[in-house]
Structure 1
Amino acid sequence: MRFLPHTDSDRQAMLESIGVAAIRDLFADIPAEFHIEQGSLALGDALSEAAIMRKFTRAADKNRNATNTRYFLGGGTYHHFVPAVVDYIISRGEFLTAYTPYQPEISQGTLQALFEFQTMIARLTGMDVSNASMYEAATATAEAALMARRVTRKSRVVMAGSVNPRYRAVTANYLSRLDGDYVEVDMGCFGTDLDRVIGAIDASTACVIVQYPDFYGSVYDLAPLRAACDAAKCLMVVAFSDISAFALIESPGALGADIAVGSGQSLGIPMGFGGPHLGLFTCKQQYMRQMPGRVCGLTTDAGGKRGFVLTLSTREQHIRREKATSNICSNQGLMCTAAVTYMALMGDEGLNTVARHSAAALQSLVARLPAHVRAAQGARYNETVLSFADSAARDRFLAAAKERALFAGIPLEQIDAAAEPRHLLIATTEMVEADDINDYLDLLEVAK
């Protein structure tokens, strides 16, 4: 669309037609104390295009070069390697600008990409079906709770306290205006105490939501929870933050999950200052019609040729609101394309190599920690909590690490407000090398 600026006379003519004297009169319903007087913002003089370029280039030069920075950050966003071809594919116009594939005859490329994405995600999670993505893991977790309520016709949702705090907060917000109980079970440790979770289940429970590996990286046996859910006739929902784990450890489907939801950010999507992410949603076959979002399917046309279609899309855009399974009105199609490109490039062996390196890096680091720093106990995948003597010791270490272009972890209280300010959530991926671990350990000794 062309930019057609209005002249002063144009504006005056429009105001006269409306019947007001000035543009300010159009905002008369806003209290006067919220009005900004002309000139009060103290904006600088206009710059030339060349001067603007210089100004923003100088600002950009202050950013750290991501390729020269070492990351031990986790908590739901991970620094995995993204092959150059991923960015190339999603930068192509037919993917970058593609819209919702309502007309299959002109959307075969987009539909096939989404279909292949669903197939790969279902394989990786061990589940029967996957939808064509959601916004991110937190809303996917909340939608899983709503879906479980529809399937079971019960209203109580039990959430383990070891689920990512952001997933818990969004789910609690979703359920806050609905009838029924929402119960968070305090774990009392940096891991998952299934006995406490199972103890919270009763006859009115629609689902139990746990994270595997949990927010603290803990890996544990879900068999007792599966048995408890069967006895109470409720659904077992398994959330996850780093799907690459399932190239190495048991998948949610293999552990008996009814619904598995989480993040696909680790599949070819950079950290990107926290977004965009990719929400994954999978379930057992019998629950597919209650699944939010959309599902792409494979069929044949009148001539017998293979074709792809939008098979299921029970959203409020398409059917009566009271019949809709969800108010999710879009998907992360471009991020799906990035993820399916990444998975196609890596294959089973590549994904397994990434997972093995990620897990091995954490074990190497934890095994050599100095005496004044403790790691959380129990089996972990690629994430854990380090505990320092006090917040001052931890913060000295973080400051020293940052000077060495090493982001050493996330102060746990920044994500979990209930945590003491002396804990550090750390994560390792295949991007962490032996020299990075040595530097990390050296800094722990120097900054104690």
Structure 2
Amino acid sequence: MLDTIGVSGIGDLFADIPSEFHIEKGSLAIADALPEAGIVRKFTRAAEQNRNATNTRYFLGGGTYHHFVPAVVDYVISRGEFLTAYTPYQPEISQGTLQALFEFQTMIARLTGMDVSNASMYEAATATAEAALMARRVTRKSRVVMAGSVNPRYRAVTANYLSRLDGEYTQVDMGAFGTDLDRVIAAIDAQTACVIVQYPDFYGSVYDLAELRAACDAAKCLMVVAFSDISAFALIESPGAMGADIAVGSGQSLGIPMGFGGPHLGLFTCKQKYVRQLPGRVCGMTTDVNGKRGFVLTLSTREQHIRREKATSNICSNQGLMCTAAATYMTLMGDAGLATVARHSAAALHSLVSRLPAHVTAATGARYNETVLSFVDHAARQRFLAAASADDIFAGIPLEQIEAGVEARHLLVATTEMVEESDISDYLAALEVSL
């Protein structure tokens, strides 16, 4: 395996990890055996060296967001009937799981403004790639146009999916921290199966999709809208309201903690007329022979169920537990609660950007809860990051870490309802250090 991928040893797989984080063999000083009490003491002492996450302020985004998760969510998904439930192949003994997924689909369809939702994908990047494949099946055309303002991870996974297939993948450079629809529209031709944009885009930019919708209609291609923080649609226009044919993205902001980047929840929605090309599962409601309400797998067009050449996806499962967490969260919050979260998230960013010192600039244009801050140089940004870290603030993501070719002086910053006014004041105080 190592020969095939062109490396000489296991260590080469971790070469990008800085050497100061490498652990030498034997350095952990782990005894051959310890009594249970000794093991507990050892790992408790080690855990006490971790930062206290409850005192940390997060301005991180880029696809993973620090939203509040009510205690009820963890309680519900920890119950055995949800935690251990697996594939609902037998509806007569899987009614609870099927109903939870059905309710999840209904709420996701409402929030995105789309006709139908499946019972989830793994995460947003593969959902975006599956949307490109679905659009190729629907239109019987092979070219995929992707805006350069889509999350770099979504772009990379989609390009990888398409790299072994016939057809063309075109990425449109935006030239700035936002979305230039004129450039995207100019890239559409008669062979285009779909155009994929993100809304709000990777940099938090909010814009009108009406011109793109008209261009897609003229070229007879599909408009695919990706998203990273679905809570935005409790405040701004939904993809469905903007005319999306397919809307895909992440459900992590719906009651799922940041963790260390996962697990996430991939969402996939579309117009009703395309439902038979939808990847994954769709749970439906029906009645049994006695007229009682029941739930079933209405569509499950994947390799395990039908001929491989007829399958719409080779993704073999869904994020059932994460779906239950999201459904519990949305039920608890309701329309008003979700709108409150979205308003607070957007207001926090406005408060931060409106008070930036003169030596730090924010990307121009309308933004939801995410933007790019630009410093005079790399050294100034690093001074700020060090000062913020000392005050238990995760101040943002150095943009060059996830966006190739970007100067190392930019910072991707996001706010949620968890960012309070005092956090913003402390953030601004740390910015003064970068002078």
Give the aligned partner of residue 99 of structure 1: 86
Q: Give the deviation of 1:419 after TM superposition.
A: 1.1
Query: How many angstroms apart in 2 are the aligned matches of 1:427 and 1:308?
Result: 39
Deviates more, 1:122-131 or 1:300-309: 300-309
Give the aligned partner of residue 178 of structure 1: 165
SS of the residue corresponding to residue 126 of structure 2 reads helix
Q: Give the deviation of 1:44 after TM superposition.
A: 4.6
Within a 5 Å distance, the mapping from 1:143-292 to structure 2 comes to 143-292=130-279
The one-character-per-residue Cα deviations of 1:374-394 (angstroms, maximum 9, x if unpaired) are: 000000000000000011100
Query: How many angstroms apart in 2 are the aligned matches of 1:262 and 1:164?
Result: 10
Q: Which amino acid aligns with 1:47?
A: A
Query: How many angstroms apart in 2 are the aligned matches of 1:45 and 1:434?
Result: 48
Q: Out of 305, 317, 341, which is 1:318 matched to?
A: 305
Within a 5 Å distance, the mapping from 1:353-364 to structure 2 comes to 353-364=340-351
Checking the alignment, whether the CA contact within 8 Å between 2:151 and 2:198 is kept in structure 1 is yes
Q: CA RMSD in A?
A: 1.3
Within a 5 Å distance, the mapping from 1:24-39 to structure 2 comes to none
Within a 5 Å distance, the mapping from 1:349-428 to structure 2 comes to 349-428=336-415
SS of the residue corresponding to residue 441 of structure 1 reads helix
Give the aligned partner of residue 297 of structure 1: 284
Within a 5 Å distance, the mapping from 1:12-31 to structure 2 comes to none
Checking the alignment, whether the CA contact within 8 Å between 2:383 and 2:433 is kept in structure 1 is no
Query: How many angstroms apart in 2 are the aligned matches of 1:347 and 1:223?
Result: 29
Query: How many angstroms apart in 2 are the aligned matches of 1:421 and 1:221?
Result: 30
Give the aligned partner of residue 47 of structure 1: 33
The one-character-per-residue Cα deviations of 1:172-223 (angstroms, maximum 9, x if unpaired) are: 0000000000000000000000000000000000000000000000000100
Query: How many angstroms apart in 1 are the aligned matches of 2:25 and 2:329?
Result: 46
SS of the residue corresponding to residue 273 of structure 1 reads coil
Q: Which amino acid aligns with 2:352?
A: L
Q: Which amino acid aligns with 2:102?
A: F
Q: Give the deviation of 1:68 after TM superposition.
A: 1.1
The one-character-per-residue Cα deviations of 1:62-120 (angstroms, maximum 9, x if unpaired) are: 22222211000000000000000000000000000000001011000000000000000
Query: How many angstroms apart in 2 are the aligned matches of 1:447 and 1:391?
Result: 10
Q: Give the deviation of 1:418 after TM superposition.
A: 1.6
Q: Give the deviation of 1:34 after TM superposition.
A: 7.1
The one-character-per-residue Cα deviations of 1:6-53 (angstroms, maximum 9, x if unpaired) are: xxxxxxxxxxxxxxxxxxxxxxxxxxx979xxxx96575313133322
Query: How many angstroms apart in 1 are the aligned matches of 2:105 and 2:30?
Result: 51
Query: How many angstroms apart in 1 are the aligned matches of 2:347 and 2:60?
Result: 16
Query: How many angstroms apart in 1 are the aligned matches of 2:357 and 2:213?
Result: 39
Give the aligned partner of residue 65 of structure 2: 78
Give the aligned partner of residue 136 of structure 1: 123
Query: How many angstroms apart in 2 are the aligned matches of 1:258 and 1:34?
Result: 46
% identity of equivalent residues: 86
Change (3 A) 1:34 1:379: closer
Q: Which amino acid aligns with 1:447?
A: S
- Tell whether 2:319 aligns with 1:332: yes
Change (3 A) 1:274 1:235: same
SS of the residue corresponding to residue 272 of structure 1 reads coil
Query: How many angstroms apart in 2 are the aligned matches of 1:260 and 1:98?
Result: 28
Aligned residues: 412
Deviates more, 1:413-422 or 1:362-371: 413-422
Query: How many angstroms apart in 1 are the aligned matches of 2:196 and 2:345?
Result: 25
Unmatched 5+ stretches in structure 2: 1-7, 11-23
SS of the residue corresponding to residue 412 of structure 2 reads strand
Give the aligned partner of residue 436 of structure 1: 423
Change (3 A) 1:34 1:213: closer
Unmatched 5+ stretches in structure 1: 1-32
Q: Give the deviation of 1:317 after TM superposition.
A: 1.1
